[in-house]
Amino acid sequence: MQASEPLPQYLIRSYGPPRQTVFQANVTVRGCTFQGEASRTKNDAQKYIAQEALVFINLLPSLADTLSDTVLENEALRSCQAELLTTLDAARAIFGRAEKELLEVHNTVQALSRKYDRVVDANVQLSTQLATYRNDPLGPLPPLDLFMEDLPPF
């Protein structure tokens, strides 16, 4: 405490009957009032509240520094959060485009799969017809000049 500051002001209250009196002290220091716990003697009540007030007053500068550091950290975190949100928005846009492209690829693969199934079906039909012609009692037919391009479109 500096020399120009006023002295702490104590207020001590007593409760209970004479042989079981309990004392409770309040102290005002630097404009802050602290209330102590109940004690059996005035001295103990005054001592306990003085210790509490001293601890609190000694912690104020470090609490102020901690608060200042916390405010600076929060500002840095807000900046990081803004960057992360921007990155997240960009990632969502990329994901959306990739999802559309993947859907297009999926649809293309399905269309190709359907075409492949039709080609396989045409080959099975041709194989069956060829086997029928080979077993024809009139004798085998000459080879067919058939190309994929000659098939009707699917």
Residue 44 lies in a domain: yes
pTM, two decimals, is: 0.38
Nearest-angstrom CA–CA distance, 101 and 36: 71
Tell me the pLDDT tens digit for each residue of 11-69.
999 998 988 999 999 999 888 898 988 899 999 999 999 888 888 877 777 777 788 88
In this structure, is residue 65 part of a structural domain?
Answer: yes
A 10 A CB-CB count for 103 gives: 10
Within a domain: residue 75? yes
φ/ψ (deg, to 5) at 127: -65, -40
* Assigned domain for 92 exists: yes
- Residues in Cβ contact with 142 at an 8 Å cutoff, skipping those fewer than 6 apart: none
**1 belongs to a structural domain:** no
Q: Is 16 helix (H, G, I), strand (E, B) or coil?
A: coil
Identify the domain containing residue 41 by its residue range: 9-101
Q: What are phi and psi of 114, to 5 degrees?
A: -65, -40
Calculate the CA 107 to chain-centre distance: 34
Give me the number of domains the chain comprises: 1
Contact status, residue 29 vs residue 57, Cβ threshold 8 Å: yes
For residue 76, the domain's CATH number is 3.30.160.20
Which residue in this structure is represented by tokens 């120009």?
Answer: 4
Question: How does pLDDT run across 88-99, given as a tens digit for each residue?
Answer: 999 999 999 999
Amino acid of residue 29: V
